[in-house]
Amino acid sequence: MNRPNLTVALALALFASPLSAQTDQSVAKAVSTITPEEIIRRIGVIAHDSMRGRATPSPELEKVATFIGGEFRKFGLKPGGDSGRFIQRYPLHRIQLDTVASTVVVSGGPSFRIPGEATPVGAADIETSGKVVIVTGSAIDATSARQLELGGTIVVLLLSPEDPTGRNNPLVRGLTAINAQHPAATVLVTPVADQAWRVLSTNALAARVIPAWQADGGPSGQLRPPLILVREAAIRAALERRGANIAALRQTTGPAQRTPMDLTMSIALKLQTGATLSAPNAVGILEGSDPVLKNEYVVFSGHMDHVGVGTPDATGDSIFNGADDDASGTIAVVQLAQAFSKLTPRPKRSLIFLTVSGEERGLWGSEYFSLHPPVEMSQVIADLNTDMVGRNWKDTIVAIGKEHSDLGATLNRVNAAHPELNMTAIDDIWPEEHFYQRSDHYNFAQKGVPILFFFNGTHPDYHGRGDEVSKIDGEKESRIVKLVFYLGLDLANAAEKPKWNPESYKSIVQPPQP
């Protein structure tokens, strides 16, 4: 064996050392910045009464985005927003349905009056038609929805007298999975009473704000399927004439099933478009240290918006502070940015720290980011999303999506390596709630990015005025953030990228649009 040149060997060792791995001391220093006190302090800033529930859009949401951008700047991150800034803006339109020009018609009759018999929800300028398919059952997910072959159909869901708005209907909760199959429209048939219908239709038809791309096709080039509420009394005869036994169909249990009808429905919705507005995302980037792997990215995401202000309760409180939902997850991202910025050397892969808005309105900000990222989405190897991580169990956090990629196995390994955290990441225990489709990670998953969604579950204050900073368990959250830090560090330094479960990839990832 030849003896190596000691001078060359030493030089190579000194060169390689800074890029090979962080020292235990460097990691410990970074983790030490994740403290309960800092978490509570920062949550207290963005969930303060003065932020008035940071609705999308609102001046208070702008203040929150500016605060987070300022934190990213202090940490030495690179701006990942528009024109060298930390803020990425996305366009919104103020719109209202033109009820005179809009129509919902069943072939051979009837034609439903708007709003007397039919009410579009979340409408866009669109004309569409398709064969009616009644979908029934007590469970639906991405896989079962795919098997129903719903593309181009009018999907009819039958709401029950006990739940006429569909709030607890598993099929309504699975609308994201249904929409992913590109039906022409979804129709909710409701037996709602007269007074409740008037309130429902008035609210649905009020002027509102929607993303520009949902109003006119925009950056995605594709509209979401319209959702129409139709009173059961108006459509029942048309369905029964084609053999539908509505009472029996409502009793169907088990996986979702389809019942095709010899019936076509046509929908034409026309909008009156008003002012153009915008809303912010905050984006900071920590460049990786490896000359090759720095071109790949791990994203840490959370949503900084909440639902704003409502009518005062008995105590006079009108503000939905959203301390857990999702100031807790937003500040988790900020704490992670601070911790990673302290590492020497930096991780091999680059990191994106993303706080989005519009989640409460339909995952708007993350959808726009996924369509207009600062790097190609093919360079993003994982998204770790934190949404509601500040309450409930002391020693447990749910990691939704573990079964869909080998991120689950990586998390299990990292979790086991850090027993000092006393925090166990478990699988989704609420599959019937379809949480996988209900937070910002989903827009990454549909673009082919493996995800994990850290979530402590809902509680009595969910979307209530009681979701206050005083109820956040900062000590528990600090251990969750540390777990996500260790996981993110593992992913950022790993030789291989995370891999999808092939069946999950087929059922979740949307094919690119032509």
pLDDT at 11: 36
User: Average pLDDT over the chain, rounded to whole?
Assistant: 92
pLDDT at 445: 97
Q: Going by C-beta distance under 8 Å and a sequence separation of 6 or more, which residues neighbour residue 323?
A: 43, 47, 390, 467, 468, 469, 471, 472
Please give the share of the chain, as a percent, with pLDDT higher than 70. 93
Please give the share of the chain, as a percent, with pLDDT higher than 90. 84
Q: Where in the chain is the domain with CATH 3.40.630.10?
A: 22-91+279-508
Pair 106, 238: CB distance under 8 Å: yes
Confidence of residue 513 (pLDDT cuts 50, 70, 90): low
Judged against a pLDDT cut of 60, whether residue 3 lies above it is answered with no
Options 2.10.70.10, 3.50.30.30, 3.40.605.10, 3.40.50.620; CATH of 99-269: 3.50.30.30
Q: Where in the chain is the domain with CATH 3.50.30.30?
A: 99-269
pLDDT at 512: 64
Judged against a pLDDT cut of 60, whether residue 219 lies above it is answered with no
pLDDT at 210: 87
Pair 418, 486: CB distance under 8 Å: yes
pTM of the model: 0.82
pLDDT at 213: 85
Options 1.20.140.10, 3.40.605.10, 3.40.50.300, 3.40.630.10; CATH of 22-91+279-508: 3.40.630.10
Three-state secondary structure string covering 398-430:
EEECHHHECHHHHHHHHHHCCHHHCCEEECCCC
CB atoms near residue 502 (< 10 Å): 8
* pLDDT tens profile 160-200: 999 998 988 999 999 989 998 999 999 999 999 999 999 99
* pLDDT tens profile 263-286: 999 999 998 888 899 999 999 999
Q: 3-class DSSP state for residue 45? A: helix
* pLDDT tens profile 53-106: 999 999 999 999 999 999 999 999 999 999 999 999 999 999 889 999 999 999
292-322: string of b/e by CB count within 10 Å (b at 16+)? ebbebbbbbbbbbbbbbbeeeeeeebebbbb
